[in-house]
Amino acid sequence: MSGDRLGASLMLAIRARVPEVQFEGIGGPLMKAAGLDSLYPMEALSVMGLVEPLKNLPELLRMRRGLSRHFLSRPPAAFIGIDAPDFNLGLELKLHGAGIKTVHYVSPSVWAWRQGRIKKIARAVDHMLTLLPFEADFYRRHKVPVTFVGHPLADELPLEPNRDAARTALGMTADDGPLLAILPGSRKGEIEHLGCLFLETAQRCQQALPALRFLIPAANAARRQQLDALLRDFPNLPVQIFDGQSHEVMAAADAVLLASGTTALEAMLLKKPMVVSYKTGWLSHAIISRMLKVPYVSLPNLLAGETLVPELLQKEATVDQLSEQVLAALGESDQRSALLQRFTELHRTLRGGAGERAANAVLSLMEGEKVNVGS
């Protein structure tokens, strides 16, 4: 869920309550359409990551200084930082110190690793808005005012997805199948680590299930080119690549093999049995694994507080183990039915109008009311 979509939803909900409200900041086309006066191009913030921000650091710092000067000279009723914690939290800290009310929308993964960041967050924000309930639990334990607003995707996606309609939208028939969706990630490094492994797993699965076909949504043109190059080594594998359309691809499939990330949440909301995997360089793994403070990496398991879907990471991510779990996910069984029921229960907990809930929390803060920390 992009920050632009989150921001636009929140803005529209606030404007419905306060028609005369004005918005300034940084936003994309959806936020601009909702009435934002964007002071800088949002594309400049899309480099948030590990390496790219270093190349763009002077520009990012210039933007943050400019926003700080602007809002200190023209104090808003509230400042709302949407995601991008490395950029927003420093700005929130400065504005909060000047007496401006600050809200952060979308929690950084402080509950999972680098938990010491909670001290800076507590100093920087008057209120945290989280998409997931266990995130709110973390902030309550650390006495940070918080509201769990739910996840906009849970509002957007139906409780009962239509597999046949998704297949028709992709130019297939309802009788096509079985189909496995493969999502090896949206970054170059993810496909370098998982692309060939997932295709070898697909090949092994097809040997056991000859009718099985495969669907892969490419995140962008560069990833499609990367996938096309890998597929040259698998000329007989029945794979169809799509440009984007990840929701349609997953909805059309019978199961999903995916890289750990927000895609697992999307697969859960689409009620798809899945196998979650991840591999990275040994040094990155050694560093991150020492900082992780949670027993799971996939959002379905984190939300449930138990192992609902298999997670095969690093050395456990082998063709043998992945193919065994994928074939189990494709099978019809009472266990599959129970899993889909649990997914529906979790979907309901994330529903409830995220934009409206977020707007209520922001407006209560602006009006000087005590926002319900337990919500």
* Residue 54, pLDDT score: 54
Structure-block tokens of residue 132: 């997931």
Other CB atoms within 10 A of residue 100 CB: 17
Q: Which residue has the tokens 């169809």?
A: 240
* Residue 111, pLDDT score: 65
Other CB atoms within 10 A of residue 293 CB: 12
165 by DSSP, 3-state: which?
Answer: helix
Structure-block tokens of residue 83: 């995601």
d(CA 341, CA 305): 16
Using the Cα atoms of residue 304, residue 309, residue 313 and residue 316 in order, give the sign of their dihedral: positive
* Residue 113, pLDDT score: 61
Domains in the chain: boundaries = 3-150+352-366, 156-350
d(CA 126, CA 79): 10
* Residue 58, pLDDT score: 82
CATH of domain 156-350: 3.40.50.2000
Write the pLDDT tens digit of every residue in 75-134. 999 999 998 888 899 999 999 999 999 999 999 877 666 677 899 999 999 999 999 999
Q: Which H/E stretch holds residue 170?
A: none
d(CA 93, CA 87): 11
* Residue 350, pLDDT score: 95
148 by DSSP, 3-state: which?
Answer: strand
Point out the residues of the chain with pLDDT beneath 70.
Answer: 1, 44-56, 111-114, 280-295, 369-375
d(CA 159, CA 156): 9
Amino acid at 18: V
* Residue 46, pLDDT score: 56
* Residue 115, pLDDT score: 73
* Residue 116, pLDDT score: 75
Q: Which residue has the tokens 């999502």?
A: 183
Nearest to 135 by CA among 100, 97, 154, 109: 109
Label residues 322-337 b or e (16+ Cβ within 10 Å = b).
Answer: bbbbbbebbeeeeebe
d(CA 22, CA 35): 7
Contact call for residues 183 and 259 (beta carbons, < 8 A): yes
Rounded to an integer, what is the distance from CA 245 to the centroid of its chain? 16
d(CA 2, CA 181): 22
Nearest to 182 by CA among 320, 323, 314: 323
pTM value? Answer: 0.83
Nearest to 131 by CA among 152, 145, 111, 116: 152
| CATH architecture for residues 3-150+352-366 | 3-Layer(aba) Sandwich (3.40)
Q: Dihedral through CA 100, CA 105, CA 110, CA 115, nearest 10?
A: 20
According to DSSP, the β-strands at 146-148 and 255-259 are: unpaired
Contact call for residues 146 and 136 (beta carbons, < 8 A): yes
Nearest to 256 by CA among 168, 161, 152, 346: 161
In order, the DSSP letters of 312-344 are EEGGG--HHHHHHHHHHHHS--HHHHHHHHHHH
> Which residues, 6+ apart, have CB-to-CB distance to 2 below 8 Å?
28
* Residue 367, pLDDT score: 85
